[in-house]
Amino acid sequence: HKVDKALMAPAVSTGRKQEKIALAMGEAQKQALAQLKALAEKVRENADYVGDKFAEEARKIHFGETDPRGIYGEATPEEAKSLAEDGVEFTPIPTFPDDRN
């Protein structure tokens, strides 16, 4: 058996593939961010802001002590955990730096 050597190009990373991945991920992240911002805006337009009384108001709605309505506000991690344990359904919605202006 005779073994011949063939001329081959070395497997050198040019970085082009990484650039394409970074661009694609950047675009996917931009789209996800835009969707989150749109969701947050829709909630703000269609729900009542209850501030730091979110956990209290969410419980009242959940247990039928007040009329059902969409609300949003702030809750501590402990309050969020307690709401989840009580079976209160909610979705955390991030705030963005430009939301505060």
Question: Does pTM top 0.75 for this prediction?
Answer: no
- The torsion angles phi and psi of 40, rounded to 5 degrees, stand at -60, -40
Domain that holds residue 66: 47-93
Residue 71 falls inside a structural domain: yes
Q: Residues 67, 80: one domain?
A: yes
Dig out the tokens for 65 from the structure: 């002590």
Residue 98 falls inside a structural domain: no
Q: What is the pLDDT of residue 61?
A: 95
Q: Residues 89, 53: one domain?
A: yes
In angstroms, the CA 41 to CA 43 distance is 5
Q: Residues 26, 52: one domain?
A: no
pLDDT along the chain (101 residues), means of 10: 59 60 70 89 94 96 95 95 95 77 47
pLDDT digits (tens, 9 = 90+) for 41-66: 999 999 999 999 999 999 999 999 99
- Count the domains in the chain: 2
Query: CB neighbours (10 Å) of residue 89?
Result: 8
Q: Residues 40, 52: one domain?
A: no
